[in-house]
Amino acid sequence: MRVLHVGCGPARVPEVIFPADEWSETRLDIDGSVAPDIVASITDLPVADGAFHAVYSAHNLEHLTPHDVPVALAEFRRVLAPGGFAMIAVPDLQQAARAIAEGKGGEVAYVAPCGPITAFDIVFGWSIATADNPWMSHRCGFTLDTLHGLLCAAGFKDVVVRSTSWQLEALGVRDGDGS
């Protein structure tokens, strides 16, 4: 089975989801310094139609402009084989907005492997990373309903989106009809 890890950064796909003995990972990122297999934008994947069984995207879509998100989702669907699935994680903008409205925007919301994250970081991008890397700025955001709607509009079926601890996790399936 083949998984395309879009916007991979230096990370590998989670072993618990994609065990290495069952999945072959292809890493794609716009930043060549993270040594991906493919250097490209997630809005123009240089990959054959139906080439992958899964697409994994963790904290990438928020770096796009709102008009580029449907383009990226269409690309994710295009490169999936019939019956393949996309797993997507993005920050939960609704939780961040709630914290900001309560005057807690600059307080640490949680600690990620990279360090402490505030609600303002969730909205605008991690302030430490955006100073050195403009790709890390957030240009859009998602709520449970907007992410669900975008995946459905892109043609994904059996879409499930859930909110978990400051992020949204989504799963969408490409129909097995080959379209």
* 6 in a structural domain: yes
- The predicted model gives 71-76 an average pLDDT of 98
Q: Structurally, how many domains does the chain consist of?
A: 1
Q: What is the pLDDT of residues 100-129, one digit of tens each?
A: 999 999 999 999 888 899 999 999 887 777
* 121 in a structural domain: no
**pLDDT of 133 above 80:** no
* 70 in a structural domain: yes
pLDDT at residue 126 in the model: 79
- The predicted model gives 39-56 an average pLDDT of 98
* 117 in a structural domain: no
* 83 in a structural domain: yes
- The predicted model gives 17-30 an average pLDDT of 96
Torsions phi, psi for 109 (to 5 deg): -85, -40
The per-residue pLDDT of the chain, averaged, comes to: 93
**pLDDT of 177 above 90:** no
CATH of residue 29's domain is: 3.40.50.150
* 101 in a structural domain: no
pLDDT at residue 127 in the model: 75
pLDDT at residue 171 in the model: 98
* 115 in a structural domain: no
Top-ranked range on mean pLDDT: pick from 9-13, 54-58, 120-124? 54-58
pLDDT at residue 123 in the model: 93
Residue ranges making up the domain that contains 6: 2-91+140-173
